Structure 1
């Protein structure tokens, strides 16, 4: 019997430097170089763009726990940027899938924990009869890299900042399968960061 898929796209978003890194030389917590760009208009508009067609948020465990401590309060903050509030409300209300080998129960409402090979998890989400819209990998470089390695990513929302960090982990590592991408959106912000949307050409 052939599995029927819903045709859902798998998308991912990330801020990266000119040298392709998603944190500084000091390790994953070294995000200072990127922070100023994350709250610019071009980044906030990209955040709006990426959630518009997404109905499932795919998160790694560490990121999910960090989001849990931050975004729910933003959704109720009248003083927050309206784009931040809209994203926070979407994240709280939407289906969330947390990838973890250690969690035994879901950390949020409307959340399920999944464990296993990434290809199988994506196949499950795509064949889930309840799922419609894009599956969005939220700022999770480890999951994004797995999807790139397996050629399971259909869209990338990137913010490229005009700085070279000179150290830190790269998003695009050697050994990825050759793939072709089409630039479907681009915008340059006031600080020189570029919002880019790339769709996989298959």
Structure 2
């Protein structure tokens, strides 16, 4: 391979879903049903294997507001595990793109987190990120963004953690009418919470 040829960055979509396919219980993205799993030691190990290979994170408005209200406290809490604090430090400093039609840059700058910017055009932004140098790009549990990128065929890897819970309603992760084929890369069981983590890649 020529020295100046660089492999294109992957877009990895990471989401927690219920057995009946929902990623949150409603428009405010209530994740209380998943917190036992998210905060378990085995889950922390699994997530660390994903985010350490990433240099850009993409989030939507709801997750941005939720993350920035919760994670600084977790990061600064002496009772938090070392992995939780490491993840919090990474979230605070990694390059972040917030997809929103309502947030302004001043809204982002008021938080404790740095290296964050607003983007209005999701598809154009992700295409530009894929072509730019860097490590992989991670979409953090934002259903609306994942749906749009799946429809645009811009997701290379889909990391789904299925929890042994049915929600009966809420926000579905996968869009209606989408036909696509994926290859199972690996699967991991998390005995403490009964979750199954599935990693799919485009063939």
The answer, yes or no, to whether TM exceeds 0.5 is yes
Cα distance in 2 for residues equivalent to 1:151 and 1:68 = 29
> For residue 41 of structure 2, what is the aligned residue in structure 1?
41
Residue 66 (str. 1) matches residue 63 (str. 2): no
**Number of aligned residues:** 194
Report the alpha carbon displacement of residue 72 of structure 1 after superposing the two structures with TM. Answer: 2.5
Residue 119 (str. 1) matches residue 141 (str. 2): no
Deviations along 1:62-118, one digit per CA (max 9) or x if unpaired, are 2112212222333333221111111111111211111111222151421111111x3
Question: Contact 1:156/1:199 (CA < 8 Å) preserved in 2?
Answer: yes
Structure 1 gap ranges (5+): none
> For residue 180 of structure 2, what is the aligned residue in structure 1?
178
Distance 1:29 1:100, change over 3 A: closer
Name which of 188, 191, 198 aligns with 2:190.
188
Cα distance in 1 for residues equivalent to 2:170 and 2:130 = 33
Cα distance in 2 for residues equivalent to 1:75 and 1:33 = 21
Deviations along 1:107-148, one digit per CA (max 9) or x if unpaired, are 1421111111x32111111223xx411110112111111111
Q: State TM-score, norm by structure 1.
A: 0.86
Structure 2 gap ranges (5+): none
CA RMSD of aligned residues (A): 2.1
Cα distance in 2 for residues equivalent to 1:29 and 1:124 = 28
